[in-house]
Amino acid sequence: GTKVMQAACSGQDRMSPPKRWTVALLCVLMMVADGDAFMATQPCCSKRRTTGAVCAASSGSAGGPTLKLIVCQGSSCLGRCKGAFNPRDALAELIQGDGDSNVQIEEVNCMNMCKRGPNVRLVLDGELVTVEGKMNELETKRKAFQNIGGEQRVSGLWQISQQVLTGDLPTMKHGPPPPASL
């Protein structure tokens, strides 16, 4: 189970794209077959750049609400980050450090808000939400946190997400999130 997946996934960043996709799919299939909570902590998920791929998952054993952070991984958004910073990787580290978190990360290739990227949407229990008092007018209108291109912004977003999960911050629901852009 897990040892096989770790071995298969550990060298994935050195593989050609078709081989990476195959190994990633095998990792997911093995995880499902074994019932193993694997995806959040393994390099195959933190290095992948796939549209709509869930890269960090919680076990869900804590109960309560679940929060999905939808992170844009388009080249224009990532090009606006400081140095080689990737908000998805930084958020995945925070989730991993949290242990029994009810937070997931999902990658999308584009949210069509490139000039203000990287962008992150919050989906609470399947509903796209905005956070009153924590988003500016444009972010509220576009239903996404914008300019998440450095550690400070990711840290602030992580704190907001934790307060949303505990119900300490008011949110407005906007229905299901839009489909991922290809």
| Top-confidence residue, 1 or 177 | 177
Mean pLDDT throughout 1-30?
A: 49
What pTM was computed for the model?
0.66
Residue 113's CB: how many other CB atoms inside 10 A? 20
Do residues 111 and 144 touch, judged by C-beta distance below 8 A? yes
Pairing relationship of beta strands 103-108 and 171-173 according to DSSP bridges: unpaired
Whole-number Cα distances in Å, 146 to 104, 121, 127, 181: 19, 9, 19, 17
Q: In what order do the strands lie in the sheet with 171-173?
A: 54-56, 103-108, 67-72, 120-124, 127-131, 171-173
pLDDT of residue 39: 38
Distance CA 53, CA 160 (A): 23
Give pLDDT tens digits for 37-60.
333 333 333 333 333 444 443 334
- The pLDDT confidence band at residue 101, using thresholds 50, 70 and 90, is confident
